[in-house]
Amino acid sequence: MVDSQKLPRLILRNFLSIQLCKELEFIHKSCCTVGYRPNVFSTTLSHLIATNSPHLIMPFVPIRERLKEKVEEHFGCEYELFVEFTGLISWCKGASIGWHSDDNREYLRQRDFAVWQ
């Protein structure tokens, strides 16, 4: 396991308003699909488009751009970052998913930055 003290981090407190959180929660509860494990649910932009709800991606776009800008600014990125994935994932009671990192596969270890909200 990697020593978390050696990994640079940026914590953005109050990045989202309560109202925006409630809107995202509503979208997630209304449109989520069964995730990759039992009791895990996900809402992705491609799923919203595929289910004829593309208007629901609108709150995600400015959030994603603001986050990307904050990361680029804080870490002094010379070039613009590429957003690989945008979505909401929820682990419900009984999900039985323990702590894990998001670089558990070789192709994912290439990432320089990862953002969770």
Query: Residue 24 falls within a domain, yes or no?
Result: yes
Average pLDDT, the chain: 84
Domain count, the chain: 1
Q: Cα separation of 39 and 46, whole Å?
A: 21
In this prediction the pTM is 0.76
Query: Residue 1 falls within a domain, yes or no?
Result: no
Query: Residue 79 falls within a domain, yes or no?
Result: yes
Q: Cα separation of 62 and 69, whole Å?
A: 10
Query: Residue 10 falls within a domain, yes or no?
Result: no
Q: What is the pLDDT of residue 1?
A: 43
Judged against a pLDDT cut of 80, whether residue 107 lies above it is answered with no
Query: Residue 3 falls within a domain, yes or no?
Result: no
Contact 80, 71 (CB under 8 A): no
Element (H, E) at 30: helix 18-31
Q: What is the pLDDT of residue 21?
A: 95
Domain limits at 65?
15-94+106-110
Query: Residue 82 falls within a domain, yes or no?
Result: yes
Judged by DSSP in three states, 42 sits in strand
